């Protein structure tokens, strides 16, 4: 049993784990351990994981940085991660630890930076502070500064008693990232969190994110995932979003990892009345990815827009699982997930929509389109609608197919080569998912990156294309 | 410019073209008429290189080169243009990008540098005005959400942008109201020079009131059964196709 070594490790080193974590994180560990012992990691025997064996990823000799030994990382390495033209508040996580911004750092680092990257240094100098009361930083600092907020949300949204991967994350997570936006505050400039994976040995990293938008608060967050070193990483990430009444939260995640990275992502979002949440996950380059998105609509007139795009070749694997729960009347959910598979890649989409008995006048839409470019690529797709209310509008559309040959011929008939036409059509296929992103500069950049991705101009993340 | 000799073609195992012979010289306009299912659109598709059709016998030369040896994009770059009977919608590819990619592909083929942004925009504007097209249309995805008439106008717009040597208009008149028909025909006429040629494929004589052909051919059951001067089109209009079929 693959879980045994991790349970033993935890029991043996619990003190170390606790010592380097925020106090509040430790309080959930008993319950998480109990769940993990009971459920273990999901395997292909679990219906919802039929095509993605999670346990398998852990069946390896992985290191865990339980003692919080600092990972060598130089800020200017990290600064590779910056979407040009995208003016953001920038933060970093190195593996699972929050990396203090350079502008808050020591003087010599600033000087160093001013020499190495003068442009960036100038930009930092000009950077305006976050609005009053907004917190963007480490979980630990947050738990000390806002203990009540931390208590009220951490581990309250993520279901760590039912899901083995989430339980495992809750067991080992020691730090992470928090965005907290108080009532009536709008953060105009998007926040950008860059997750950097560094390590000299194969590593397991367990990361937490917590996003709290209080009543009528607005915030946009871009999260970029990058593996810098050429070792195996198994990353669990749990993100909790509390979108309170009339708040607006945008979360865009961009994965650009090497083929040696396993990303096990669990996002839990709870929405109160009239809140609007946009979540779009783009897998530009990866190894093995499982994204679980779970949205609970708890207040009337709440809207959620969930988008996903996966571009895979080689033996890459992306499994997107979306579960939207309509528990109250008059909410809207809108899903658009697309996959492009080349070579021997595998894609999975499962979209579950649950409309409870009282959730009348629900609008729930789900679209899943998949493009399979090779005979050896495989796509598994399954919609799952459970509707217990009688006055609802729900629809789902699912197609998996090849490139539109007529469109390609039409383009060729205008002089465009077959290869170029194919590329343009693949980029076009991704367009409507990109359009769901409400940061125009990021949209533009993504179109460019997707084009490069299809042209095979970058095949691994080493020099971080998004981040120059 | 174009020489078709004893052309036979099949689609899904069924022979549609059964020995076509046709020659088109620079400066000429040819009309190909014929009842439904006679093979008119198949001929257009074969000329453009649609892979769904297989040529089993015969040959085609275009400017002295073996057309059948050329990929569809090579034919286009060589100056052959097909106005599609059913223009294809391409969501996610804007008309602007589509046209720029087409023009630059053709320029590259001729060994020319890519078109400058300003020249391209001016050309787009000029040709759009020639066809009386809404500026909104060219900023949208290719043919997406276009009405039937808009799609046909868009074909002639592309033809104007690409300035081909040989244009094949496949049922460009179908789905057009009388005003749109006039605009499209005027566009085609203005693009006609001594150097280029046009093949107009149509079911009705209506379009030929606006585009005056030099020769009219009647296609029936995969063969050209009669060729003549423009009078032939009028006679067809009066008497239908039956009298030719029964010759």
The full DSSP string for B40-62 is: HHHHHHHHHT-TTEEEEEEEEEE
What pLDDT, on the 0 to 100 scale, is given for residue A161?
Answer: 85
Q: Find chain B residues with C-beta within 8 A of A402's C-beta.
A: none
Q: Which domain holds residue B20?
A: 2-245
Q: Find chain A residues with C-beta within 8 A of B141's C-beta.
A: 428
Residues A78-90: b if buried by 16+ CB within 10 A, e if exposed: bbbbbbeebbbbb
- Please count the residue pairs, one from chain A and one from chain B, whose beta carbons lie less than 8 angstroms apart: 82
Could you give the percent of chain B with pLDDT greater than 70?
A: 99
Confidence tier at A1 by pLDDT (50, 70, 90): confident
**Model ipTM over 0.95:** yes
A425 with B93: Cβ contact below 8 A: yes
Q: Find chain B residues with C-beta within 8 A of A416's C-beta.
A: 73, 101-102, 105
The structure tokens listed for A168 are 């495992």
Half-sphere exposure of A120 (CA within 13 A, CB side): 27
Average pLDDT, chain A: 90
Which among B51, B75, B102 has CB closest to A416?
Answer: B102
What pLDDT, on the 0 to 100 scale, is given for residue A78?
Answer: 52
Please state the domain count of chain B: 1
Average pLDDT, chain B: 93
Considering only residues A46 and B245, tell me which one the structure prediction assigns the higher pLDDT. A46
Each residue's pLDDT tens digit, B165-191: 999 999 998 888 888 899 889 989 998
Each residue's pLDDT tens digit, A213-230: 999 999 999 998 888 788
Each residue's pLDDT tens digit, A356-376: 999 999 999 999 999 999 999
Confidence tier at A273 by pLDDT (50, 70, 90): very high
A412 with B73: Cβ contact below 8 A: yes
* B101, B151, B170, best to mutate vs chain A, most A CBs in 10 Å: B101
Q: Find chain A residues with C-beta within 8 A of B48's C-beta.
A: 413
Each residue's pLDDT tens digit, A93-144: 888 888 765 443 344 455 566 666 666 666 555 566 889 999 999 999 999 9
B84 with A413: Cβ contact below 8 A: yes
Whether residue B95 has pLDDT greater than 60? yes
Burial of B187 (0-12, 13-18, 19+ CB in 10 A): buried
B93 with A416: Cβ contact below 8 A: no
State how far the Cα of A333 lies from the Cα of A387, in Å rounded to an integer: 14
State how far the Cα of A310 lies from the Cα of A322, in Å rounded to an integer: 14
Whether residue A462 has pLDDT greater than 70? no
Q: What would the mean pLDDT of A187-191 be, rounded to a whole number?
A: 93
Query: How many angstroms separate the Cα of A466 from the Cα of each of A76, A230, A289, A446, B179?
Result: 15, 18, 19, 8, 50
Whether residue A331 has pLDDT greater than 70? yes
Kindly identify which residue of chain A lies nearest to residue B80, measuring between CA atoms. Answer: A413
What pLDDT, on the 0 to 100 scale, is given for residue A229?
Answer: 80
Where are chain A's structural domains?
A: 3-463
Three-state DSSP class for B113?
Answer: coil
Query: Of A459, A447, A453, which Cα lies nearest the Cα of A340?
Result: A453
A420 with B93: Cβ contact below 8 A: no
DSSP assignment of B138-195 equals HHSEETTT--HHHHHHHHHHHHHHH--SEEEEESTTTT--HHHHHHHHHHHHHH--SS
Query: How many angstroms separate the Cα of A259 from the Cα of each of A225, A234, A311, A370, A459?
Result: 13, 11, 13, 21, 9
Confidence tier at A457 by pLDDT (50, 70, 90): confident
What pLDDT, on the 0 to 100 scale, is given for residue B247?
Answer: 61
B101 with A424: Cβ contact below 8 A: yes
Say which residues have a Cβ less than 8 Å from residue A321's Cβ, sequence separation at least 6: A48, A290, A291, A292, A293, A348, A349, A350, A351, A352
Instruction: Decide if A425 touches B, using CB distance below 8 A.
Output: yes
CATH of the domain at B85: 3.40.50.300
Instruction: Decide if A416 touches B, using CB distance below 8 A.
Output: yes
Q: Which residues of chain A from 284 to 323 reach within 8 Å of chain B, CB to CB? A: none
């Amino acid at each position: 049993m693959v879980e045994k070594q991790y349970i033993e490790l935890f029991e043996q080193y619990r003190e170390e784990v606790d010592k380097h974590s925020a106090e509040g994180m430790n309080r959930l560990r008993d319950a998480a351990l109990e769940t993990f012992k009971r459920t273990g990691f999901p395997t292909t025997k679990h219906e919802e994981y039929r095509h993605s064996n999670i346990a398998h990823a852990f069946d390896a000799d992985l290191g865990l940085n339980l003692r919080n030994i600092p990972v060598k990382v130089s800020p200017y390495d990290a600064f590779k991660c910056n979407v040009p033209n995208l003016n953001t508040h920038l933060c970093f996580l190195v593996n699972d630890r929050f990396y203090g911004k350079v502008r808050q750092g020591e003087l010599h680092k600033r000087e160093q930076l001013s020499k190495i990257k003068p442009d960036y240094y100038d930009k930092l100098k000009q950077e305006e502070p976050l609005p009053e009361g907004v917190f963007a930083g480490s979980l630990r600092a947050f738990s000390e500064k806002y203990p009540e907020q931390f208590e009220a949300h951490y581990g309250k949204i993520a279901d760590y008693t039912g899901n083995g991967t989430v339980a495992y994350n809750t067991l080992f997570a020691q730090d992470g990232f928090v965005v907290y936006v108080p009532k009536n505050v709008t953060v105009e400039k998007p926040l950008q969190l860059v997750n950097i994976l560094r390590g000299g040995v194969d590593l397991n990293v367990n990361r937490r994110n917590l996003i709290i938008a209080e009543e009528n608060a607005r915030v946009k967050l871009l999260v970029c995932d990058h593996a810098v070193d050429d070792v195996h990483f198994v990353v669990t990430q749990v993100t909790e979003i509390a979108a309170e009444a009339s708040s607006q939260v945008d979360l865009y995640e961009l994965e650009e990892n090497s083929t040696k990275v396993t990303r096990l992502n669990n996002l839990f979002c709870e929405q109160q009345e009239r809140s609007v949440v946009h979540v779009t996950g783009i897998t530009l380059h990866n190894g093995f990815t499982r994204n679980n998105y779970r949205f609970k609509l708890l207040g009337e007139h709440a809207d959620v827009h969930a988008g996903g795009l996966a571009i895979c070749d080689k033996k890459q694997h992306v499994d997107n699982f979306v579960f939207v729960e309509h528990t109250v009347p008059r909410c809207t959910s809108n899903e658009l997930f697309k996959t492009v598979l080349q070579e021997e890649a595998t894609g999975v989409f499962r979209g579950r929509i649950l409309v409870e008995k009282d959730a009348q006048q629900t609008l729930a839409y789900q679209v899943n389109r998949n493009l399979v470019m090779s005979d050896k690529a495989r796509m598994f797709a399954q919609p799952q609608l459970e509707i217990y209310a009688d006055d609802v509008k729900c629809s789902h559309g699912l197609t998996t197919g090849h490139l539109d040959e007529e469109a390609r011929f039409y383009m060729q008939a205008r002089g465009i080569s077959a290869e170029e036409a194919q590329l343009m059509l693949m980029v076009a296929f991704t367009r409507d998912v990109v359009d769901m992103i409400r940061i125009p500069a990021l949209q533009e950049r993504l179109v460019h990156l997707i084009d490069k991705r299809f042209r095979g101009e970058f095949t691994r993340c080493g020099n971080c294309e998004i981040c120059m | 410019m174009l020489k078709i000799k004893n052309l036979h073609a099949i689609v899904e195992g069924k022979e549609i073209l059964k020995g076509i012979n046709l020659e088109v010289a620079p400066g000429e306009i040819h009309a190909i008429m014929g009842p439904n299912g006679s093979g008119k659109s198949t001929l257009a598709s074969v000329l453009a290189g649609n892979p769904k059709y297989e040529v089993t016998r015969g040959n085609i030369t275009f400017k002295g080169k073996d057309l059948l040896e050329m990929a569809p994009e090579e034919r286009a770059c060589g100056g052959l243009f097909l106005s599609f009977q059913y223009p294809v919608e391409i969501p996610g590819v804007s008309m602007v990008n589509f046209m720029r990619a087409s023009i630059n592909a053709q320029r590259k083929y001729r060994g020319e540098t890519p078109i400058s942004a300003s020249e391209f925009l001016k050309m787009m504007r000029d040709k759009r005005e020639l066809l009386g097209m809404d500026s909104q249309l060219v900023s949208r995805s290719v043919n997406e959400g276009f009405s039937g008439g808009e799609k046909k106008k868009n074909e002639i717009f592309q033809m104007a942008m690409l300035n081909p040597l040989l244009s094949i208009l496949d049922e460009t008149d179908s789905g057009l109201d009388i005003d749109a028909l006039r605009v499209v025909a005027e566009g085609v006429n203005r693009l006609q020079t001594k150097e280029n040629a046009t093949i107009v494929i149509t079911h009705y004589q209506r379009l030929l009131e606006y585009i005056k052909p030099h020769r009219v051919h009647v296609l029936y059951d995969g063969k050209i059964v009669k060729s003549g001067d423009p009078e032939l089109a009028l006679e067809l209009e009066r008497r239908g196709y039956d009298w030719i079929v029964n010759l």
